[in-house]
Chain A
Amino acid sequence: MALDNKNNEFKVIGSTPNRPDGLDKVTGRARFGADISVPGMLHGAVVRSPHAHAKIVKIDASKALAMKGVKAVITRADFPEGLEGEDWNLQENAMAGEKALYDGHAVAAVAATSPLAARDAAKLIEVEYEVLLHVTDVDEAMKDGAPAIREGAADYSVPEGLHPNVVRFFDTGMGDLDKGFAEADLVVERSYTTEAAHQGYIEPHACLGQMGADGRGELWCCTQGHWFIRRMSTAVLGVETTNIRVTPSEIGGGFGGKTTITIEPLSLALSRKAGGAPVKMVMNRGEVLRATGPTSSASMDIKMGMTKDGKITAAHGTFRMQGGAFPGAPVDVTTMLAFANYTIENVHHIGYDVITNRPKQAAYRAPGAPMAAFAVESTVDEMCRTLGLDPIETRLKNASRDGTRSTFGPKFGPVGLVESLEAARDHANYKMPLGPNQGRGVASGYWMNWGGETSASVAMSEDGTVTVSVGTPDIGGSRASMALMAAEAFGIAYENVRVNISDTGALGVNEPTHGSRATYASGLATIKAAEECITKMCKRAADKWGIDADAVIWEDGSAKPSGPNAGEFDPLSIGEICAEMGETGGPISGHYEGSPTGFSGSFGTHVVDVEIDPETGHTTVLRYLVVQDAGKAIHPAYVEGQFQGGAAQGIGWALNEEYIYGEDGRLQNPVFLDYRIPVASDLPMIDTVIVEVPNPGHPYGVRGVGETGITPPLPALANAIADATGLRMRGLPMTPPKILAALKAQKNG
């Protein structure tokens, strides 16, 4: 069956039907992580370190265990020893061993008969600490004299002579930098910093775990990827992977933060110790902010060369990122994608992954890309201003496009940066007149997207309707997208497809809904599995007609003879074939298992207008435009939603969101009052333009869209502020105190 990019032939792709879970979600019926209860359930609570870095001398749980209703207390002693690599990191992060490594690090947990009893019992667990020197800033952590958080944590990549807190080192690039900079008319060298931002999902982590003494059990939790949760939890607990079945609940936002484990293995361990009673655990907001992954903070140096007419001749970036007390800051991505918007012959990246006394970072929407974009796109903007060049024309001049070599090596296929820049340039927002203290900023961004391990099934029902089972939790409407793709493939109505998110027992391994992969990979899997069903249905029709299966085609939801030579038969509809399937060979279903590699990256360009209050430094976002390549928008409203959500998160990161640590190494703002994500009155409408440069690696041309959108806002806001004030802000967040101080300094010369 032809599944190429014939846009004009789509019947349902590109329409915007109501999502299947809409009714449940507007009536309060949808069951999220904390909404699941079972009979005999206990409640868990966690004891967390109040210190940034401390030796755990003694844990005394006797008072807690003496409390009525307390059924189990666990510490690290209840976990197996001898784990290595990332498994050890996960175990150590889930429950501290010899040392507490950050403010909020779990040191013990308790299960009791009510949430209040568990909380009260947790307060009775006495932990004796020996406080150690700590470090929370990435630059400080690399300096001589900084406390070594964990000797020997560095891997093969780290050259000798670096601080033991540097645990991974990256060095990538190509070309001849000296030659490139020599060709430039303008060479600019600048330093930038970004603070850690939290994913800020509104639903705190929640789970309900049950495990018996035999190591078998079940886990219900809110997660982006239940196979990941299963593998990580069982590894940490030292039980066989298959012994735990994980069922995902509805998920109240993740943005990368729910691709890893936090309390899940604790609930299982508590359950086992409490004799197999299920244990429900729900984090509060303070725990989420203190102990689950925010993204990395970064300190960066950028050097770029440009000719008078705007050609980028060379680029060098040094990126220092801390990812908390464990290796994993996404500097690997940063050192690939930092300059990916541009075709640059001479380019080099140096990256340092640094450990500090902060929580283990978790992926956050385009992990590693926004920080670099802030540094690089700010530098490009500054160069354009210095040289009197238009920021969009300059980007067009250097833009990555089909056939150009990327700054990370391989050549690009068809991608949509040029198209996004042109659409931004031609949009009304780019021409709106600006008033006093107002400015406009432009920036582009990129995410390379992902395929990943994928398994899906499509099963025919007796009435010809279709059940699709995928393993990627639906966070933003993906069930609607899967249903649209299945409906398109079968040639049936959207309403005749039901999409389920299956548990780990029903499908092969699936990577999470991450990397902007779900619509691409689970979508591709759905289409391929549907094709298998169609092939089988054509065979059933062929058998009925007594002709060769090759002589049957599938069109508009029916099997038909392929032509006059095949014979004269009335089409057999999907309903007719399925109604008889019990008599014609049994159930009909199709499967897909694979790791599709035909994903292709998504470029986007943002244009933002701001107004700065010159007396207070307050930034008002006046209007905002997102233009991004979706390949093919399956459900355009949810594509727009991804664009808008990414932009809003980026605006928050740019202006107000930050992790603030005190001298004592404790997080000072573990509440939404002070961890300031954008509220409704902070934002204007977010205008969107969907560019469609089809991805040849997907049957319908899809490319992931989820992550790119958080990348341009950071520099776009900085560039707009520069346009409004002449000030170049090089540290995030660009808060009113920072802007006002810079305005004063500017005024005082």
Chain B
Amino acid sequence: MRFHSPASFEDAANIAASATGVTRFLAGGTDVLVQLRADIVEPDDLIDVKQIAGVKDITRRSDGGWDLGVAVAGAEMTEHAALMADWPGLVEGMGLIGSTQVQGRATLVGNLCNASPAGDASPGMMAAGVTVTVTGPNGTREVAVEDVPTAPGRTSLEKGEVVSAVHIPARGANGGDAYLRFIPRTEMDIAVVGCGVNLRLDGDIVTEARVALGAVAPTARLVQDAADAIIGTTLDDAALDALAAAAEAACMPIDDKRGTIEFRTDVAGVLAKRAAKIAYARAKGDTK
């Protein structure tokens, strides 16, 4: 295994582009090292992006949105009061990954590019409308996070491409987001179901909504029907039932060691309702 510490994303992309074997980028390393240890993937070239300037920065843009470096760890996000105040659901999703120790290293981009259907950071990012900058040998492009994972363990990134920045939209007024997941224990598990909800209110009425589900399909995904079920409502019981039904209908889960199809489908509806209620309360100004 060759270890590289490039000083720029362009260099990182060039190393990856010219590599002939298995290549991995290293940010937090909490997936890469597990795969290495378990003899699942031993990269021929491992490219550490942490020496690149700015990868640890959390910056508020002039439009009120946020730019995050790709090596910002979960703990650095949860400790950032202003970011947490804007996007509690997104940050909590990241914060649920692994232990306190894992939070010291794990990153949003790592979770996204590991492309596990059950990654806890992805539904919150999708619901929030996060985009990423991708740097490749031929320049950069902007990609919506929902377009990054394509299948378990696979992304739409081409050979030589690397995510070089994360962009979170401005929170704006009267908005709120939430992420919930179901696990058998209270910590340390992979999500059996995850659900992120982001919405905006006009008075009591939901005017905008994005709902994303994790662990119920080959990739985490936005569910437009679920969002439609609550847009234009006050999130009354009928709207919540419709939301749950839409979430359940969007599930294409598998039976595996972590949960059954039936269980995942049922719980997707339950979590969608619970997350929507929290997001709604937050949009109303509840700071919990």
Contacts and interface: CB of A to CB of B under 8 A. Distances in A.
* A and B bind: yes
Given A673-B189, A676-B189, A656 B263 contact: no
A660 interface: yes
A741 B263 contact: yes
A735 to B, nearest CB: 6
Nearest to A739: B263
Interface residues of B, number: 21
A669 interface: yes
B186 A674 contact: no
B262 interface: yes
Contacts of A744: 266
Interface string A675-692: 010110110000000000
B270 A616 contact: yes
Given A615-B270, A616-B182, A669-B257, A736 B188 contact: no
A215 interface: no
B204 interface: no
A676 B186 CA distance: 11
Interface footprint category on A: 20 to 34
Interface string A609-651: 0000001111000000000000000000000000000000000
A672 B263 CA distance: 22
Contact of A674 (B38, B39, B257): B257
A618 B192 CA distance: 12
Contact of B184 (A615, A618, A672): A618
Given A673-B190, A679-B188, A681-B187, A737 B182 contact: no
A212 interface: no
Contacts of B166: none
Contacts of A616: 182, 267, 270
Nearest to B98: A673
A697 to B, nearest CB: 41
B258 interface: yes
Interface string A255-292: 00000000000000000000000000000101000000
Contacts of B266: 615, 740, 744
Given A660-B257, A669-B257, A741-B262, A676 B267 contact: no
Contacts, number: 57
Contacts of B270: 615-616
B260 interface: yes
A49 B189 CA distance: 28
A674 B263 contact: no
Interface string B255-271: 00111101100110010
Contacts of B260: 737, 741
Contacts of A737: 259-260, 262-263
Interface in B241-288: 257-260, 262-263, 266-267, 270
A746 interface: no
A682 B186 contact: yes
Contact of B185 (A656, A660, A668): A656
Among A616, A618, A679: residue with most chain B CB under 10 A: A616
Nearest to A678: B185
Interface of B: 37-39, 182, 184-190, 192, 257-260, 262-263, 266-267, 270
Nearest to A672: B188
A533 B172 CA distance: 83
Nearest to B184: A656
A668 B257 CA distance: 7
Contacts of A655: 184
Given A673-B190, A682-B186, A740-B266, 13 more contacts: A615-B267, A616-B182, A616-B267, A618-B182, A669-B257, A674-B257, A676-B185, A676-B188, A678-B185, A679-B188, A681-B186, A740-B263, A744-B266
Contacts of A669: 257
Contacts of A736: 182, 184, 192, 263
Nearest to A744: B266
A541 to B, nearest CB: 60
A463 to B, nearest CB: 46
Nearest to B269: A615
B111 to A, nearest CB: 15
Nearest to B255: A737
Closest 7 interchain pairs by CB? Answer: A737-B263, A681-B186, A615-B270, A660-B257, A668-B257, A681-B187, A737-B260
Contacts of B37: 284
A277 B190 CA distance: 43
A284 B39 CA distance: 12
B267 to A, nearest CB: 5
Contacts of B267: 615-616, 740
Among B184, B187, B188, B266: residue with most chain A CB under 10 A: B184
Nearest to A677: B185
Contacts of B263: 617, 736-737, 740-741
A676 B267 CA distance: 20
A704 to B, nearest CB: 31
Contacts of A735: 184
Nearest to A740: B263
A612 B225 CA distance: 30
26 contacts: A123-B39, A284-B37, A286-B38, A615-B270, A617-B263, A656-B184, A656-B185, A660-B257, A668-B257, A674-B258, A676-B185, A679-B185, A679-B187, A681-B185, A682-B186, A682-B187, A735-B184, A736-B182, A736-B192, A737-B263, A740-B263, A740-B266, A740-B267, A741-B260, A741-B262, A741-B263
A284 B36 CA distance: 13
Contacts of A741: 260, 262-263
A668 B256 CA distance: 9
A139 B37 CA distance: 36
A745 to B, nearest CB: 11
Nearest to A737: B263
A286 B187 CA distance: 21
Given A616-B267, A669-B257, A737-B263, A682 B185 contact: yes
Contacts of B192: 736
Nearest to A673: B190
A131 B190 CA distance: 32
A417 to B, nearest CB: 33
Contacts of B190: 673-674
Nearest to B37: A284
Contact of B188 (A123, A617, A618, A673): A673
A181 B270 CA distance: 47
Nearest to A680: B187
B240 to A, nearest CB: 12
A660 B190 CA distance: 16
Nearest to A614: B270
Contacts of A617: 263
A92 to B, nearest CB: 26
Interface in A502-544: none
A202 to B, nearest CB: 14
A671 B258 CA distance: 13
Interface string A728-749: 0000000111001100100000
Contacts of B262: 737, 741
Contacts of B182: 616, 618, 736
B82 to A, nearest CB: 27
A167 B151 CA distance: 47
A112 B131 CA distance: 49
Contacts of B38: 286, 671
Nearest to B186: A681
A120 B220 CA distance: 36
A330 to B, nearest CB: 26
Contacts of A681: 185-187
A632 B267 CA distance: 49
B260 to A, nearest CB: 5
Contacts of A671: 38
B219 to A, nearest CB: 20
Interface in A679-718: 679, 681-682
Nearest to B193: A616
